[in-house]
């Protein structure tokens, strides 16, 4: 009683049928779209079984969502290829296929890799991810703000204008590891899906213990709580701590492991927040 449940689904839209569209529309489900930016990047890896690129079918899938009045947005993982993409070309492409609500995510390497192991060419550090967002914000705010909703930008603008408000994403909550869980088909419970494949982050199984007891007695969950406390204590001096609250725990863990010279005494979003604050200050002065 008193609980409100919503469901969303994630799809590449390549082969979504009319039957599925009618079902999704009927239950009021929103759809997240998975793609990798412009066709030149997307069609190198999001291919069908014949090796053909899928960008054109994703664009057609968006048209179908519109025809069925289904709300949609996109999740775009920023890896090395997306990081190096011409950002104006990317934003223009999104507008051309009517993809106007987007969330950018930083790439997660294989969680099984230990420090010193090769993580591939696709990985970018958290500092590079924030640099990407900072450059993109400057471009977006000058010519695309009224055309494309980018969640992290709107979120930070709102908070910087009114510090009493809270950000929507769990990353900036300061209690992220306790707010989100992932339940796998085999019953395993772990933190958010960024940790997939990391056996040391599995709290236990719902097949053996109910959720409340599992979280209360899991040594892995206690380790996550301790890491969050220790990490945030070091960051209290940071200018932006009241907004980022230490950032994403997984980003800290991965960058400590794989990024040489990683600075874990601040959450790392300062470059983006300073860019947005500068924009707000200039806009206020202009008016």
* Entry pTM: 0.92
Radius of gyration of the chain (CA): 20
Spans of the chain below 70 pLDDT = 286-287
| Interatomic CA distance for residues 223 and 265, integer angstroms | 19
pLDDT above 90 coverage of the chain, percent: 72
For residue range 68-110, what is the model confidence (pLDDT) as tens digits? 999 999 999 999 999 999 999 999 999 999 999 999 999 999 9
| DSSP, residue by residue, 168-212 | SSGGGSS-HHHH--EE-TTSEEESSGGGTT-GGG--EETTTS-HH
Q: What is the pLDDT of residue 224?
A: 87
Asked if residues 234 and 245 have their Cβ atoms less than 8 Å apart, the reply is: no
For residue range 100-122, what is the model confidence (pLDDT) as tens digits? 999 999 999 999 999 999 999 99
CA-closest candidate to residue 155, choices 139, 168, 140, 144: 168
From residue 152, how far is each of 58, 130, 139, 160, 271 by CA, in Å? Answer: 24, 11, 15, 12, 14
Helices (H), the chain: 18-27, 39-45, 55-67, 80-83, 87-96, 126-143, 151-161, 176-179, 211-217, 219-235, 241-244, 249-258, 270-286
Q: What is the pLDDT of residue 287?
A: 64
């Amino acid at each position: 009683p008193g609980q409100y449940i919503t469901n969303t689904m994630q799809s590449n839209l390549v082969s979504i049928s009319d039957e599925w569209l009618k079902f999704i529309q009927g239950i009021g489900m929103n759809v997240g779209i998975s793609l990798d930016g412009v066709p030149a990047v997307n069609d190198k890896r999001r291919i069908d079984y014949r090796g053909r690129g899928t960008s054109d079918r994703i664009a057609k899938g968006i048209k179908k969502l519109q025809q069925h009045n289904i709300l949609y947005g996109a999740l775009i993982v920023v890896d090395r290829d997306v990081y190096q993409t011409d950002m104006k070309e990317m934003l223009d492409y999104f507008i051309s296929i009517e993809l106007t609500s987007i969330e950018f995510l930083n790439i997660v390497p294989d969680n099984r890799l230990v420090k010193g192991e090769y993580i591939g060419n696709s990985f970018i550090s958290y500092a590079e991810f924030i640099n990407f967002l900072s450059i993109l914000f400057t471009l977006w705010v000058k010519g695309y703000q009224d055309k494309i909703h980018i969640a992290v930008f709107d979120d930070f603008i709102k908070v910087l204008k009114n510090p009493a408000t809270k950000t929507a994403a769990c990353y900036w909550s300061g209690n992220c590891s306790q707010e989100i869980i992932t339940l796998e088909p085999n019953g395993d419970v772990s933190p958010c899906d960024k940790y997939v494949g990391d056996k040391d982050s599995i709290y236990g199984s719902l097949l053996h213990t109910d959720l409340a007891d599992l979280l209360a007695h899991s040594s892995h969950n206690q380790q996550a709580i301790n890491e969050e406390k220790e990490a945030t204590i070091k960051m209290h001096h940071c200018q932006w701590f009241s907004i980022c609250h230490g950032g994403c725990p997984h980003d800290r863990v991965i960058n400590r492991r794989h990024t040489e010279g990683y600075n874990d005494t601040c959450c790392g979003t300062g470059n983006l927040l300073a860019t947005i604050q500068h924009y707000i200050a200039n806009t206020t002065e202009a008016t």
